[in-house]
Amino acid sequence: MRPFSVNSLTDGKQLADIGTFESSRFLAGGTNLVDLMKHQIETPQHIIDLSRWDSANNIDETDDYYQIGAMVSNTDLANFAYQRKDLSVLSQALLSGATVQLRNRATTGGNLLQRTRCYYFYDTNQPCNKREPGSGCAALDGFNRIHAVLGTSEHCIASHPSDMAVAMTALDAQVKTINTKGDTRSIPVRELYQLPGDTPHIETVLAEDELIVAVKIPKKKRGTQTYRKVRDRSSYAFALVSVACDLTLKDGVIADISLAFGGVGTQPWHAASAEDFMRNKTASSSLYEQAVDLELNPARGAGGNDFKIPLIKRTAAFVIQQAVEHQMANPGHQGAIHAR
Amino acid sequence: MATITINGQEYPLPDDPRTTLLDFLHQHLKLFGAKKGCDHGQCGACTVVVDNERMNACLLLAFQLEGKSVTTIEGIASEEELHPLQKAFVKCDAFQCGFCTSGQICSGVSMMNELQENNPSTVWFEPNYSEQEDIKERMSGNLCRCGAYANIIDAVNIVRQDKEVS
Ligand SMILES: Cc1cc2nc3c(=O)[nH]c(=O)nc-3n(C[C@H](O)[C@H](O)[C@H](O)COP(=O)(O)OP(=O)(O)OC[C@H]3O[C@@H](n4cnc5c(N)ncnc54)[C@H](O)[C@@H]3O)c2cc1C
Ligand code: SF4
Ligand code: FES
Ligand code: FES
């Protein structure tokens, strides 16, 4: 690890006192950043430590929204969301990720901004445009079984690894930020990420000095919620493909649906075309298949990951079908299909 | 002075902010119980308990833990006798080379608390929930290269069901 200096924030507003931000990084739980610093993939000269920022550890609830502080741990958020039927998909997604040890340490802000698990991004002997702009992409002709099929470019096909972010995308959460000038803004998670294009090292719309303060999830009546993760082993593995779905059926018609995919996109994938195609139509298996086909129309495999296209299609159709059946049998149902 | 408590004793934090908790335990305190398997958060051999929560010591920068209280395998037993889970590991032959064992035990001890607090696991959303699958999922952050898993689960079960270990 390269040497660095440290400032600890105890309040988001303190950011303004830090002044220049060059070659700095925010350090939350460190489960991703410390790993990348050990590999010297990230080499910040300065660390802004968030571990003393106590006010960012709260979850606030009003009639209209939940507000989750950036430093709330993945465990605490999963436990909280488990108790709320309208946040079930978030709990399911969080609990499917990593391990208890990691979730105890990982934070809400850090989880959203964790970086790809592309093998070549981690191997500093290989060309990688994300790690070293302009060096090339070893994954295009390499082992690309875990890589993305949606939102890719000829410069990068890395998939976004987060499970939580897929659920946040389905729930249409907003990210609240502050920068070193004290300016604040709110960004929908659906607009937080950037496609790789020819700048795969730029992953989000956040500025270098922009700190995530909280994530806000709108409160509303939701429907049957599922997070389905398909992976190489049933625990402690990143998603090959995953589906987050929140569906409400009224008189056999899909009255409302939120759908997001993980593992297949260069960013948590909001399946907006599929949603629009299904909304206010009578539920049927051919409807879901057509809708998902429409979403997957631009999907392109790179060889090793070709299987993800039929796999995400089948997984999404299965999840939607299951939710529809559950809504038919339990009109007005909210939450997970099975929960203890 | 910035300090950290380890197994009940207070120590000054290391000067170099790059020091992980795991390296601090090994190189500064000569506490070698927590093991370095991968050093990247992937194996669980370094699992310790920080303020009642299990974490991977290899990914924790020690400077972030000012004022925290850490329990390592060296602090799991009482002065007089082994922790029930340690006894159960002996009884069930729950280790072969023993490299993963300190992490398994720290993890298992924390898991008992998590079960008591009714913390959910992903298995709770499965249609065919089983307690055994639940335990396996909760212990999945601790890999065992020797494959002693079946006996590890037996050991955990003994303690969880509060059976007397002789
Ligand atoms: C072995 C292993 C398995 C894993 N498996 C999964 C899995 O299956 N599913 C999954 O989703 N994840 C998985 N993870 C990833 C894990 O969820 C992330 O590492 C974690 O969520 C990151 O959170 P953190 O607080 O530790 O972030 P950090 O490592 O502290 O930070 C990550 C990034 O976010 C930035 N950042 C952090 N907080 C803020 C903030 N408030 N504002 C602005 N920037 C910020 C940092 O600068 C850094 O760039 C796994 C990790 C490991 C090591
Ligand atoms: S896919 Fe992206 S992250 Fe992976 S090697 Fe190519 S440029 Fe790097
Ligand atoms: S050494 Fe820490 S998880 Fe492997
Ligand atoms: S007993 Fe050898 S690694 Fe587990």
Q: Which residues pair with A218 in a beta bridge?
A: A65
**How many whole angstroms separate alpha carbon A225 and alpha carbon A248?**
9
Nearest to A222 by CA among A183, A172, A269, A186: A172
Nearest to B58 by CA among B86, B92, B20: B20
Q: Is any Cβ of chain A less than 8 angstroms from the Cβ of B55?
A: yes
**Model confidence over B23-73: pLDDT tens digits?**
999 999 999 999 999 999 999 999 999 999 999 999 999 999 999 999 999
Phi first, then psi, for residue A176 (nearest 5°) are: -100, 135
**How many whole angstroms separate alpha carbon A253 and alpha carbon A281?**
5
In the stretch 64-93 of chain B, residues with CB closer than 8 A to chain A read 64-66
Q: How many Å lie between the centroid of ligand 4 and the Cα of residue B148?
A: 6
pLDDT score, position A177: 97
pLDDT score, position B165: 61
Contact A160, A266 (CB under 8 A): yes
Query: Which DSSP state fits B27?
Result: I
- The CATH architecture one would assign to domain A54-113+160-218 is 2-Layer Sandwich (3.30)
Radius of gyration of chain B (CA): 16
* Closest Cα in chain B to A101: B55
**Model confidence over A242-273: pLDDT tens digits?**
999 999 999 999 999 999 999 999 999 999 99
Q: 3-class SS at B105?
A: helix
Residue A125 predicted with pLDDT over 70? yes
- Domain limits, CATH 3.30.465.10, in chain A: 54-113+160-218
The domains of chain B, with CATH numbers, are: 3-75 (3.10.20.30), 84-160 (1.10.150.120)
In CATH, A224-329 is 3.40.50.1000: no
* Pair of tokens at residue A334: 């909210």
* Closest Cα in chain B to A339: B125
Complex ipTM more than 0.90, yes or no: yes
Query: Which DSSP state fits A205?
Result: S
In the stretch 183-202 of chain A, residues with CB closer than 8 A to chain B read none
- Domain limits, CATH 3.30.390.50, in chain A: 224-329
Query: Which DSSP state fits B76?
Result: T
Q: Which atom of ligand 3 is nearest to the CA of B35?
A: 1
* Pair of tokens at residue A332: 């007005």
Residue A327 predicted with pLDDT over 80? yes
Residue B154 predicted with pLDDT over 70? yes
Contact A325, A304 (CB under 8 A): no
**How many whole angstroms separate alpha carbon A295 and alpha carbon B38?**
39
Mean pLDDT, chain B, rounded, equals 96
Contact A107, A28 (CB under 8 A): yes
Please report where in the chains the tokens 């998939």 appear, as a residue. Answer: A159
pLDDT score, position B163: 65
Phi first, then psi, for residue B81 (nearest 5°) are: -145, 165
Q: How many Å lie between the centroid of ligand 4 and the Cα of residue B85?
A: 16
Question: Which of A1, A95, A104 minimises the CB distance to B55?
Answer: A104
Residues A277-287, mean pLDDT to the nearest whole number: 98
Q: Which long-range contacts link A250-257 to residues 24+ away (Cβ below 8 Å)?
A: A250/A331, A252/A282, A252/A283, A252/A328, A253/A280, A253/A281, A253/A282, A253/A283, A254/A278, A254/A279, A254/A280, A254/A281, A254/A282, A254/A283, A254/A287, A254/A324, A255/A279, A255/A280, A256/A222, A256/A223, A257/A320
Nearest to B107 by CA among B61, B153, B66, B141: B141
**Model confidence over A35-75: pLDDT tens digits?**
999 999 999 999 999 999 999 999 999 999 999 999 999 99
Looking at residue A299, its amino acid is A
Q: 3-class SS at A131?
A: coil
**Whole-prediction pTM:** 0.98
| CA-to-CA dists, residue A84 to A67, A79, B68, B124, angstroms | 14, 9, 31, 15
**Model confidence over A129-139: pLDDT tens digits?**
999 999 999 99
Residues B18-22, mean pLDDT to the nearest whole number: 98
Nearest to A87 by CA among A77, A96, A97: A77
- In A124-183, beta strands by DSSP E: 174-178
The helix, strand and coil proportions of chain A, stated in percent and rounded to the nearest 5, come to 30, 25, 45
Residue located nearest, by CA, to atom 2 of ligand 2? A156
Mean pLDDT, chain A, rounded, equals 97
Please report where in the chains the tokens 């400077």 appear, as a residue. Answer: B63
pLDDT score, position B44: 98
Residues in B touching A338 (Cβ below 8 Å): 125-127, 129
pLDDT score, position A14: 85
Distance from A4 to chain B by nearest Cα, in Å? Answer: 8
**Model confidence over A153-209: pLDDT tens digits?**
999 999 999 999 999 999 999 999 999 999 999 999 999 999 999 999 999 999 999
CA dihedral B34, B35, B36, B40 (to 10 degrees): -60
**How many whole angstroms separate alpha carbon A245 and alpha carbon A224?**
8
Q: Is any Cβ of chain B less than 8 angstroms from the Cβ of A315?
A: no
Residue A19 predicted with pLDDT over 80? no
pLDDT score, position A17: 83
pLDDT score, position A340: 85
B144 Cβ inside 6 Å of ligand 4: yes
In the stretch 21-50 of chain A, residues with CB closer than 8 A to chain B read 27, 30-31, 34-35, 38, 47, 49
* Pair of tokens at residue B156: 């955990």
Predicted confidence band of residue B162 (pLDDT cuts 50, 70, 90)? confident
Predicted confidence band of residue B164 (pLDDT cuts 50, 70, 90)? low
Residue A234 predicted with pLDDT over 90? no
